[in-house]
Amino acid sequence: MTPEAAIEAISAKSKPGKAEEMAKYHKAERPYLGVANPDIYVLTKEWRAALTLDDRLALASGLWDSNIHEARTAAANLLLQARIRPDDTAAWELIKSWVPDFDGWALADHACGAGAKRLIADPARLDEVEQWTKSEHMWSRRAALVSTLPWTKQNNPKAADLEIRDRVLGWAAGYVSDPDWFIQKAIAWWLRELSKHDAPRVHDFLGKYGSKLKPFVRREAARLMPDGLPPKAEPPEQTDQPPE
C-alpha cells in the first residue's frame, strides 16, 4: 500500500460539496477531499490488520507528508492502537515528529489520540511531553494536555497514575495565565474530564487558581462536579509589616 494508493482509496469515499464545507470549517490552508471521519476509520482499520508495522509506519509517514486533511487523519488512525508489537518506539518517534506541524484542533486531536496510546504504553515518555509545555508553538503546548487525557479517565488509578495526574495539573497551572483561547479550552477539557473521576483534585485546582482563570474555563471545568464551583481564592491580606 503506497500513500498514493491510500489517498485514492480515501478519495473514493468523498461526498459532493463536503470538501468545500470542510475547508471553510477547519480554516487551515491544505487540500480537503470531502471524506467523513467514519469512512476513513473503516479504511485504516483494514490497513492496520493487513500491513506489517514497518509498512504502517511508512504509509502513515507518507500520508502525513501529503498535507491532505483526510490523509493526515488516516495517518494518525493507522497508529491508533493500544499495543504495537514488536516495538512501538518508531511509532512514538513518528507521532512526536508531527507535533510541530499542528495548526488546528482536529488533526492535532487525532494525532494526540494516537500519541496517548504510546504514552500509556510507556509513561516515561512524559518527560519528552513536558518539553512541549515550554514550546513557543501553541499547538505543542496544547498537545501536552490533550495527549495525557487518559489519566483523567481512570476509575481505579494506581499511585503512579495519581502522580501523573498531579504532574499534568502542574502543567495546567503553568498555563493559567496563557492568553490563547485554545490553551484555556484545553485546561477546561482536562479538568472537566478529571472531575468525573477525581473531583477533589479539580476542586483543589479551581480553589487555588480559579480566580486567575477565564470565567468560561471555571464554569466548564466544574460543570459536572456535584458541588459546583468552589469559592475563588481570596487574595492575601495586605500588611505594612515586612515578611518574616
Give the amino acid at 91: A
Grid coordinates 500520508 are at which residue? 63
Q: Are 201 and 194 in contact (CB under 8 A)?
A: yes
How many whole angstroms separate alpha carbon 27 and alpha carbon 45?
Answer: 28
Specify the pLDDT at position 229: 60
62/79 Cα distance (integer angstroms)? 13
- What the chain holds in terms of domains, given with CATH numbers, is 1-122 (1.20.1660), 148-232 (no CATH)
What amino acid occupies position 194? L
pLDDT at 230: 56
Over residues 198-219, the mean pLDDT reads 93
Greater model confidence, 224 or 194: 194
CB 55 within 8 A of CB 21: no
* pLDDT tens-digit series, residues 91-145: 999 999 999 999 999 999 999 999 999 999 999 999 999 999 999 999 999 999 9
Distance CA 209, CA 27 (A): 33
How many CA atoms lie within 13 Å of 16's alpha carbon, on the beta-carbon side?
Answer: 0
The answer to whether the Cα torsion of 111, 116, 122, 128 is positive or negative is: positive
- Residues 163, 180: Cα–Cα separation, whole Å: 27
* Main-chain phi, psi angles of 136, to 5 degrees: -75, -15
The share of the chain scoring above pLDDT 70, in percent, equals: 93
Q: Report the C-alpha gap between 83 and 203 in whole angstroms.
A: 34
pLDDT in the model for residue 243: 34
Enter the pTM of the model.
0.89
Cα gap 15→36, rounded to integer Å:
8
Q: Are 187 and 153 in contact (CB under 8 A)?
A: no
Give 28 or 231, the one with higher predicted confidence: 28
Grid coordinates in use for 100?
510541530
pLDDT in the model for residue 209: 94
Mean pLDDT of the chain: 92
Average pLDDT over residues 183-212: 95
H or E segment at 89? helix 89-98
Residue pLDDT, tens place only, 58-73: 999 999 999 999 999 9
- pLDDT confidence of residue 239: 35
What distance in Å separates the CA atoms of residue 210 and residue 99, rounded to the nearest whole number?
29
234 has pLDDT over 60: no
